[in-house]
């Protein structure tokens, strides 16, 4: 029996077989987003209709920009979803023809006024995968230099510098709650801790 012949699931990985897409329909369309309904049949015969939010599948980047080994740059920007200002990491869409490193450097210049001589891909994060197919590439930017590019923000962004080891204190703030930024910073902090630990061991 092949891996695709079983109706109960994938016997090699333990995952169920993907649902069959019976049909899809555009429900609504705006300048930025599209709502799509999917008619699905699962491997056990159950049928359901799911809705998801789609858009330009160009990809996006989020940048952990470090002006020194202990600090990170955060931006304060207006978040229409919450009708309030939030503290988060610089981020943006990948423009046509860009790779993620080029896009991250451009966004960093537009939002923070810095470029990076070193841009290292760190992790890929998703957001609400039950409802949208959105992936965010997180990159760590180091060896920064002043460089400002004009962006599309409606007002100048406020750039703040915070110690990356003070994440617990940041979590107590009412304006710092974006899950992707929190996850990215903890991953970066643990990576830096491990590098420092290895560096210390190399000196022994």
Domain boundary among 15, 32, 55: 55
pLDDT for the residue 74:
98
pLDDT for the residue 31:
83
Residues 31 and 107 in one domain: no
Residues 106 and 121 in one domain: yes
Residues 16 and 78 in one domain: no
Reading the block at residue 46, the tokens are 């159950």
Residues 179 and 81 in one domain: yes
pLDDT for the residue 197:
87
Domain boundary among 55, 72, 101: 55
Number of structural domains, the chain?
2
Q: What pTM does this model have?
A: 0.85
Domain boundary among 55, 79, 96: 55
Environment class of 139 (CB within 10 Å of its CB; exposed 0-12, middle 13-18, buried 19+): buried
**Is residue 63 a contact partner of residue 107, using CB atoms and an 8 Å limit?**
yes
What's the CA gap between 61 and 27, in Å, rounded?
28
What's the CA gap between 100 and 191, in Å, rounded?
20
**pLDDT, mean of each 10-residue run, the chain (204 residues):** 42 77 93 89 93 82 97 97 96 94 98 97 92 92 97 93 95 95 97 88 62
Residues 122 and 78 in one domain: yes
pLDDT for the residue 2:
38
**Is residue 35 a contact partner of residue 53, using CB atoms and an 8 Å limit?**
yes
What's the CA gap between 117 and 140, in Å, rounded?
11
Residues 67 and 39 in one domain: no
pLDDT for the residue 172:
96
Range of the domain at 8: 1-55
CATH code where residue 199 lies:
3.90.79.10
């Amino acid at each position: 029996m092949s891996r695709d012949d079983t109706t109960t699931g994938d016997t090699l990985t333990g995952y169920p077989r993907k649902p069959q897409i019976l049909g899809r329909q555009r429900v609504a369309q705006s300048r930025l987003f599209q709502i799509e309904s999917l008619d699905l049949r699962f491997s056990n015969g159950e049928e359901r209709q799911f809705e998801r939010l789609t858009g330009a599948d160009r990809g996006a980047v989020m940048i952990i920009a470090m002006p020194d080994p202990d600090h990170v740059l955060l931006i304060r920007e207006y978040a229409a979803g919450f009708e309030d200002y939030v503290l988060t990491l610089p981020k943006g869409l990948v423009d046509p023809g860009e790779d993620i490193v080029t896009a991250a450097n451009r966004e960093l210049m537009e939002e923070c006024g810095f470029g990076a001589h070193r841009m290292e891909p760190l992790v890929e994060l998703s957001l609400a995968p039950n409802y949208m197919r959105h992936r965010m590439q997180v990159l760590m930017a180091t060896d920064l230099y002043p460089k400002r590019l004009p962006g599309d923000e409606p007002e100048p962004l406020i750039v703040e510098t915070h110690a990356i080891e003070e994440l617990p204190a940041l979590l107590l703030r009412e304006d710092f709650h974006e899950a992707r930024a929190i996850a990215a910073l903890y991953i970066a902090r643990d990576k830096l801790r491990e590098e420092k630990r290895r560096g210390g061991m190399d000196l022994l």
